[in-house]
Chain A
Amino acid sequence: MSASSSVPLSQKFKLPNGVEYEQPLGLFINGEFVTGKEGKAFEVINPSTGKLAGMVHEATAVDVDLAVDAAETAFYDGPWSKMSSADRGHLLLKLADLFEENLTILASIEAFDNGKAIQLAKGDIGACIGCLRYYGGWADKIHGKVIETSPESFNYTKQEPIGVCGQIIPWNFPLLMWAWKIGPAIACGNTVVLKTAEQTPLGGLYAAKLCKEAGFPPGVINILSGFGRTAGAAIASHMKIHKVAFTGSTPVGRQIMKAAAESNLKKVTLELGGKSPNIVFEDADIDRAVEWINFGIYYNAGQCCCAGSRIYVQETIYDKVIDAFKRRAQANVVGNPFDEATFQGAQVSEAQYNRIMAYVELGKKEGATVEVGGERHGSEGYFIKPTVFSNVTEDMRIMQEEIFGPVCAIAKFKNLEDVIQKGNSTAYGLASAVHTRSLNTAVEVANRLRAGTVWVNCYNSLHWALPFGGYGESGIGRELGKEALRNYTQVKTVNINLS
């Protein structure tokens, strides 16, 4: 952190792939980019090089207050409060169009700021567009119910927006998480104060510029760059924020929920960590299953809350799968995110890099076998080779804890009962997958796994129309799909006495 006096409100950026654009650097409050009241700024590091990429203004509690005031005014008094549901939806549709027009810039920012491969970053933006357009469509399709009880009374419910929503998003999919949060909150008529992750503030600020261009009234969408312990904590405990949605780690999720409980009992949605099982039965198409387990763990450099980090292979095909998977993992192109052929880019930060490498060392100490990887890739930036641990037992920490990197643990299982028991053995319950050709196995495993998502013969196959969220310590509430509208509405019952 340093003084912001030398940091402008925007600056021309030139990215490694030649994309040049004007990067906003201020806090986006009440429709304008402004400096933080405490005059702070923080560094943005390029994870591919470990070098300084730029500085952005930092929000602290006082800026959260300003943003909340703007959002509250917009919610109760501004044009937003009187806008028809269809017009609200239309603004989201315009925002989706602007994301489409700016796809190259947005994807490049993501690759630069997060270190993810440009091909994946483009996929992220495509999914942002789909998500925003999808919720644009929901805005005028939110219906209450009429409930008949007796002829003497007339009763109906309304799905009303909650008010000012605080949203705190992570660094692994900076813009996609932005769209997942903004889309349903705005479709339902709320106003938002969104804090991006301190590792990846750039995309959210550019998207804020697009919000303004789309025509959202001031104060409806406020975007803050800042740290969890200051700005994030201020959001979670704010007395005028009536809903907080957080995506991130389980420990921080717990703090958010505590802060919500201790402040004003704001409603909470949490999308937390996972240690998701990816199960391969002996009757699976092995080539395809190996493709999916590879994609399931190494996609986004393993930095996915739903990553398939525990791989259970039926013992009859275990050796064959290990062989094929080792070859497949080593074939992944790791390196420069801006190379179109790259599949796995950098880990997001030095801290994450060190954390992952510590888990690799731990795995070795615990007695697991490194089949491939287990070391740094290249000499600069935060790249890690795709890593496979075999001979992992259920009690090892690398089997129980979320590593959040390109590191997976493989173990054998005997039969369906065995793997259900193993699959359900962690405190998490975000996602899971089963690979089998058998209809009965697929449906039975899907029924019995305690997880918010079950993929059958695929992995990481997210779609904005499909609800996503966790069982157990993986969270509360569901994002995406129609389900997400529940996170951002509250029910009002009107009971009219007619007699």
Chain B
Amino acid sequence: MSKGFNSSLDVVNCQRFLRLYTMIIRRSLLERQLTLQSRRYYSSVETVVTLPSGLKYRQPIGLFIANGFDVSTDGKKLTTYDPRSGRPIASVFSAGSADVNNAVQSARLALGPWRTTPGTERGILLHNLSRLIEDHKDILGSIEAFDTGKSADTAMSEDIQECINVTRYYAGWADKIHGYSIQPFTEKFAYTLHEPFGVCALIVPWNYPLMLAIWKLAPAVAAGNTVVLKTSELTPLSSLYLGNLITEAGFPQGVVNILSGDGDTGAALALHCGISKISFTGSAATGRKIMQAAASNLVPVTLELGGKSAAIIFEDADLEQAVKWCYSGIMSNSGQMCSATSRILIQETIYKKFVEMFKSYTIHRMSMGPLDHGPQISDAQLKKVLQYVRLGIEEGANLVYGGEEMDVPGYFMLPTIFSDARDHMKIVQEEVFGPVVVMDSFATSSDAIRRANSSEYGLASAVFTKSITEAVNTAQKLDVGMVWVNSSQDSDFRVPFGGFKMSGFGQELGEYAMKNYWRPKAVHLNLGISL
């Protein structure tokens, strides 16, 4: 080991110790936490990862069950790669069905005490977690960036900041879950209890690994459920790191369990008879399988699936702003966003102008930072996206810009623009999940709405216009779960997020997400009805 290795580790450990110390002082009233130690940081089930910045940190690689990291029963591991170089980062233990069983059992054991823990206390633990994520923001952002290929700045300021906000937001909901009292008539009094489901299986994708995990975990735990989180095999690292913070925040053993694994792990979890609720984010194809698995035990499901969301540009729109929003609406996160506005419908009077402006803006952005939009997550994803590009050309769409892999290490491709992409084409109908946008013109607003709604998906839409009537009317008529007016992708943790049609059901974020994680129980009191 070099000298540098030791000293940078010492810096990290020292900061960690100081944070822990400060936190224990700060939370001294919560005696439960005083017993917490950071020993999990020094578990044998970990490896040292060197980040691109040169900083080294201890990365847990075990399965996080009952606040501890364990090896998988069969010793199986999976390897995660840096999409910017294609090189392996670390190998982590992958959960088999025996491990899934252990995690579910752990969550079931925790359930009894957890669901009766007062909401205020559940909220305090989530507040603690929010603070810890904030304290570890830099390292979490760096891990996320390394594992997904997105820039560290973006990962910190968007993904991890969102994790902090969402955790704090749902901490506030934990003691604001209200049932109703209902008095139908004098002799009958009734009330409803909003009770947690039990053990929730949370299955999340690789595009926003920690953020989407938190979108599910925070409301689920706030409502009194215990959870088994299964991360994507492409991006397991940040959630494993979160495991340490779960323990440090003071969550009782088994409330949060985190498994790395592939689709088989997900299937074992979805089919497990010990779970009472599934929340899944990912592709529509996998969503269908999840729902079929859920049907075997009749477990309720929340699905956040794909999309082919349309942006509609009316002729009165601020075109410069529309171009910028639409560019980030499809190119940011390398186009790997379920709600990406990947179709742009442009009023015919401004169609040519808009396409030209979009192309110029793309060239400008590429000149500022050719790799800013980030790589695709994997070689397989890159190949799949490029295959769609070839298909688009074959189908007769007009390639305006890009369409090629970039000649750099990693899985980078050029932002890609198609114009004259007709509704029947596969690149207009299917989700590409890459930096590929298709454009076409429309004549009237009813034409635009009809075509925007022609997709089997219904996740989101964006409308660009200065007219309030056009904005409100179009928003009303679009068959989608979210409409952005004069923006795209600027979701907010206070505002629900979710889709119609094959984009899924059940809303995440906002107050609505709480409804995914409690179910009402009606209690009838007979105050004098005699038989």
Contact = CB atoms under 8 A, between A and B. Distances in A.
Interface of A: 85-86, 89-90, 93, 97, 100-101, 103, 130, 133-134, 136-141, 143, 154, 439-440, 443-444, 447, 465, 482, 496, 498-499
Nearest to B123: A137
A127 to B, nearest CB: 11
B195 interface: no
A329 B13 CA distance: 57
Given A86-B494, A154-B472, A496-B468, A439 B525 contact: yes
With a 10 A CB-CB cut-off, give which of B29, B119, B120, B493 has the most chain A CB atoms. Answer: B120
Interface stretch (B60-68, B165-173, B210-218): B165-173
A134 B120 contact: yes
A134 B175 contact: yes
Contact of A100 (B29, B172, B473): B29
The 9 closest A-B pairs by CB, nearest first: A137-B172, A154-B472, A498-B469, A440-B527, A443-B189, A140-B494, A443-B527, A465-B175, A100-B29
Contacts of B124: 133
Contacts of A139: 172
A482 B525 contact: no
A290 B175 CA distance: 31
Interface string B34-55: 0000000000000000000000
Interface string B14-34: 000000000000110100000
A137 B173 contact: yes
B494 A138 contact: no
Given A93-B127, A498-B473, A103 B527 contact: no
Nearest to A465: B175
A482 B175 CA distance: 11
B176 A138 contact: yes
21 contacts: A85-B494, A86-B494, A90-B168, A97-B26, A100-B27, A133-B123, A133-B127, A134-B175, A137-B174, A137-B175, A138-B176, A140-B172, A143-B511, A154-B472, A154-B476, A439-B525, A439-B527, A465-B176, A482-B176, A482-B178, A498-B469
B528 interface: yes
Nearest to B126: A137
A141 B176 contact: yes
Interface in B476-529: 476, 493-494, 511, 525, 527-528
Contacts of A86: 165, 168-169, 493-494
Given A101-B26, A137-B123, A89 B172 contact: yes
Given A137-B174, A141-B511, 15 more contacts: A86-B168, A86-B169, A90-B168, A133-B120, A134-B176, A137-B123, A137-B173, A137-B175, A140-B494, A141-B176, A154-B476, A439-B525, A482-B178, A498-B473, A499-B469
A32 B469 CA distance: 49
Contacts of A130: 120
Nearest to B470: A498
Interface in B328-363: none
A100 B227 CA distance: 30
A133 B172 CA distance: 8
B172 A498 contact: no
A443 B525 contact: yes
Contacts of B493: 86
A220 to B, nearest CB: 20
Contacts of A141: 169, 172-173, 176, 494, 511
A137 B29 contact: no
With a 10 A CB-CB cut-off, give which of B119, B183, B189 has the most chain A CB atoms. Answer: B189
Q: How large is the interface on B (under 10, 10 to 19, 20 to 34, 35 or more residues)?
A: 20 to 34
A443 B469 CA distance: 52
Contacts of B120: 130, 133-134, 465
B26 A138 contact: no
A140 B169 contact: yes
Nearest to B189: A443
Contacts of A93: 127, 168
Interface of B: 26-27, 29, 119-120, 123-124, 127, 165, 168-169, 171-176, 178, 183, 189, 468-469, 472-473, 476, 493-494, 511, 525, 527-528
A103 B169 contact: no
Contact of A498 (B29, B165, B472, B494): B472
Contact of B172 (A101, A138, A154, A440): A138
With a 10 A CB-CB cut-off, give which of B119, B172, B469, B476 has the most chain A CB atoms. Answer: B172
A483 to B, nearest CB: 11
Nearest to B186: A447
Contacts of A133: 120, 123-124, 127
A103 B30 CA distance: 13
Nearest to A96: B127
B527 A496 contact: no
B213 to A, nearest CB: 20
A138 B473 CA distance: 32
Contact of B527 (A100, A444, A465): A444
Nearest to B130: A93
Contacts of B525: 439, 443
A118 B35 CA distance: 27
A133 B171 CA distance: 10
Given A86-B168, A103-B29, A137 B176 contact: yes
A395 to B, nearest CB: 32
A141 B317 CA distance: 32
A138 B189 CA distance: 29
B421 to A, nearest CB: 31
A494 B265 CA distance: 50
A444 B127 CA distance: 40
With a 10 A CB-CB cut-off, give which of B174, B175, B511 has the most chain A CB atoms. Answer: B175
Nearest to A90: B168
B27 to A, nearest CB: 8
A158 to B, nearest CB: 14
Contacts of B468: 496, 498
Contacts of A90: 168
A180 to B, nearest CB: 16
A85 to B, nearest CB: 7
A97 B494 CA distance: 23
Contacts of B165: 86
B122 to A, nearest CB: 12
Contacts of A140: 169, 172, 494
A499 B183 CA distance: 42
Contacts of B511: 141, 143
Contacts of A154: 472, 476
B179 to A, nearest CB: 12
Contacts of A498: 468-469, 472-473
A117 B373 CA distance: 63
A62 B494 CA distance: 42
A100 B493 CA distance: 28
Contact of A440 (B169, B175, B528): B528
B171 A137 contact: yes
Contacts of A440: 527-528
Contacts of A97: 26
Contacts of A444: 527
A482 B473 CA distance: 33
A139 B165 CA distance: 13
Nearest to B27: A100
A85 B171 CA distance: 15
A215 to B, nearest CB: 15
A94 to B, nearest CB: 11
A443 B189 CA distance: 8
Contacts of A103: 29
A124 to B, nearest CB: 15
Contacts of B528: 440
A498 B471 CA distance: 10
Contacts of A138: 172, 176
